[in-house]
Amino acid sequence: MNDWMRKVFESKRAARQQLRALSFSEKVKLLEKLRDRSLAIARSPLRVRQHQKI
């Protein structure tokens, strides 16, 4: 693994640790945002068209 990759992994690990350290209430707010976005993506016409092709 080169230095650049190592830095990327370290930064990801640090970001995940920060998220883990949030309170449950704060995490639940993020869950709600993630859910809203997942639903918006699922409803997107592009996604629907793609799904119909399959």
Q: Which residues bind other proteins (CB under 8 A)?
A: 16, 19-20, 24-25, 27-28, 30-32, 34-35, 37-39
The SS3 call for residue 1 is coil
* Shortest distance in whole angstroms from residue 21 CB to other proteins: 9
DSSP 3-46: HHHHHHHHHHHHHHHHHHTS-HHHHHHHHHHHHHHHHHHHH-HH
* Shortest distance in whole angstroms from residue 10 CB to other proteins: 14
* Shortest distance in whole angstroms from residue 36 CB to other proteins: 10
